[in-house]
Amino acid sequence: MKIGILGAGSWALALSVLLESKKHDVTLWEHDQKSIDLILEHREHPIKLPGVHVPESVVISNKMADAIVGAELVVIAVPAQFVRMTMKAIVAAIVPEDISAVTGWVIVAKGIENGTNALLTEVITQEVPQISMAQIGVLSGPSHAEEVGRKIPTTVVAASENIELASIMQEAFTTETFRVYTNTDIVGVELAGSVKNVIALAAGACDGLGFGDNTKGALLTRGMVEMARLGRVMGANEHTFSGLAGFGDLITTCFSKHSRNRKMGELLASGLSLEDALKRMTMVAEGVTTAKSVYDLSVKLDIDMPITTEIYRVIYEGKNAKQAVMDLMTRESKPERR
């Protein structure tokens, strides 16, 4: 099977290694020639995914057509806020017939677009009329690139409204160390993967403030309540949030040393400004931009999401992280289930 991957970040590189191990014909598209040259020279990315060898058979190109034309699956691995730009570039570079010929467009980015508050599935269908929801899938779950690239056992979810596409994704990605389940709740899987990054920022803040396991256990549990509230209003299946795309990914992201979002929260809690914290990061922490979109959605849809609200205030209004925690702890008392 020919599979194209749009982007050459850590997750794209890890997936290229995984897919090549199944003898798929893999092409990575990367717009930055310097990044291409770096990967070709070392057959790894020494900053984004050090120590993970990218096989010689994986083609890396700055020509979008190389990754898309003739591909059965195209994996969208650019950061969430660049998906619309990427889809516009596809429309400009690829003829409609070649776009329609792709069986599945697989989103592996996690986030909600700023400004429009659109899910990435919505961004794709808005920009590319040749792509229907039946051609879109989402691959999500507890899956840090650093571990997948080293073949550490990992389990994820392939979600699509089209169960046939979900099954194709399952077959394409499954290996002895990468197990894939199918799910038809694509909205729930998208939301879970996006909102958990916001909660992970809060988890990092807890670490930065020196709080303990009690705090983080409470944070994850109440964070899951917020995810489910948003999902319920947006038409998701609440059971999705207790699965791999929800609790599984939330736990991993909030505790892992590999988590960019947890690290970003820790930096913000140390007193750094958002600008200075971003300078310390070598890769994108999707939760920073997603926090704004999730907060905007909570206001628009009138959903009580207190953790999201406080994280938004820390990031965008300069609120002290410790004060944010105290304000959460001293909110009006209420029943757990409401």
What CATH number labels 2-184? 3.40.50.720
In this structure, the number of other CB atoms found within 10 A of the CB of residue 281 comes to 14
Q: Model pTM?
A: 0.94
pLDDT at 337 over 80: no
Q: What is the DSSP letter of 49?
A: B
pLDDT score recorded for residue 257 = 87
Listed by start position, the domains of the chain span: 2-184, 194-329
Instruction: Check 110, 196, 216, 263 and give the catalytic one.
Output: 196
What is the separation, in whole angstroms, between the first and last Cα of the chain? 48
Strands 154-159 and 136-140: antiparallel
Fold classification of 194-329 (topology level): N-(1-d-carboxylethyl)-l-norvaline Dehydrogenase; domain 2 (1.10.1040)
Q: Across residues 125-135, what is the average pLDDT?
A: 96
> At residue 304, does pLDDT exceed 80?
yes
Half-sphere exposure of 338 (CA within 13 A, CB side): 6
Residue 167 is predicted with a pLDDT of 98
Residue-wise pLDDT tens digits, 157-189: 999 999 999 999 999 999 999 999 999 999 999
Number of CB atoms found within 10 A of residue 167's CB:
14
DSSP string, 255-306: H-TT-HHHHHHHHHHTT--HHHHHHH-SS--HHHHHHHHHHHHHHHTT---H
Residue 15's nearest CA partner among 104, 140, 120, 165 is 140
Residue with tokens 């709080």: 211
User: How many other C-beta atoms can be found within 10 angstroms of the C-beta atom of residue 40?
Assistant: 11
Q: Which residue has the tokens 């099977």?
A: 1
Dump pLDDT digits (tens) for 94-105. Answer: 999 999 999 999
282 pLDDT exceeds 90? no
Q: Is 196 a catalytic residue?
A: yes
